[in-house]
Chain A
Amino acid sequence: MGVLEDKARARTFYKYLSRVYDTVNPLVWNEEMRDEALSRTGIEGGDRVLDVGCGTGFGTEGLLQYTDDVHGLDQSVHQLEKAWAKFGKTDRVKFYRGDAERLPFAADSFDHYWSSGSIEYWPNPVDAIEEARRVTKPGGTVLIVGPDEPSNSLFHRIADAIMLFYDADEADRMFSEAGFPEREHVVMQANPGSPRAIVTIATVPEE
């Protein structure tokens, strides 16, 4: 677990991250990868979808290609300001400030759940994945994208100090513990040598 376990530190980190996020992010997670991940969700027009840790709105933009009913949640106002610049504050997307591990939504509120580039900053990922299961209807998809364990040792040491990295085995353990019997993991990479992203697609079980 990294230094972002401390939520106050996480806030400061995000404030600065939001300034460079859309510049750095395409090296790890680009439109092509996002669209590939979206095609695995089963989202249909009219579905209500929650985007957790929507940040600057890169995933949100992709979700809007599938449905008009997109809800974005983020803890950081600095990140959200970038998203508001793209979509308006109360126009195309319903925005909330909130915590992934303690979602402010009733059970079964959403048809699908999406979160890209946020899990690496969650202090207790299993808690957040359990919350994803709670707010998503049975049969709906929970899709979470995070950074795959880096193989380069120097980058690994730097990266591990500030965020969570996990491989398919660890993703499988977390989703199993959070109550998802049906789950698959796909590793994606923008270019040879770039950091890899791990995409988990899980189905909310019928109660």
Chain B
Amino acid sequence: MKESLMEIVCCPMDKHDLELDADERDDGEIISGTLTCTDCGESYPIEDGIPNLLPPDMRDGA
């Protein structure tokens, strides 16, 4: 995902801002990392360039 999308993404649960912790970047894209809610602390992974913003109860294996 592009870092500019931080302006519109939010926590799906409480709609608060997310904080980006990027592990891998490539040509302006965040390839892997974590988005953490600044309010509830829930974290959402960025996997292979795609942010997984599914609520925790809908994640694979949930």
Contact = CB atoms under 8 A, between A and B. Distances in A.
Interface in B19-62: 29, 44, 48-55, 57-58, 60, 62
A8 B62 CA distance: 8
Contacts of A102: 12-13, 55
Interface of B: 1-2, 5, 7-13, 15, 29, 44, 48-55, 57-58, 60, 62
A98 B1 contact: no
Contact of A104 (B7, B9, B29, B62): B9
A95 B2 CA distance: 10
Q: Range of interface residues on chain A? A: 20 to 34
B58 A104 contact: no
B58 A75 contact: yes
B9 A105 contact: yes
Contacts of B51: 96-97, 104
Contacts of B48: 89
Interface of A: 7-8, 11, 75, 80, 89-90, 94-99, 102-107, 109-110
A38 to B, nearest CB: 22
Given A104-B11, A105-B9, A96 B50 contact: yes
Contacts of A107: 15
| SS class, residues of chain B in contact with chain A | loop
A124 to B, nearest CB: 13
Nearest to A50: B8
A75 B49 contact: no
B53 A97 contact: yes
B53 A94 contact: no
B49 A96 contact: no
Contacts of A103: 12
B53 to A, nearest CB: 4
Contact of A98 (B7, B54, B60): B54
B50 A89 contact: yes
B50 A97 contact: yes
Nearest to B61: A8
A94 B2 contact: yes
Nearest to B26: A90
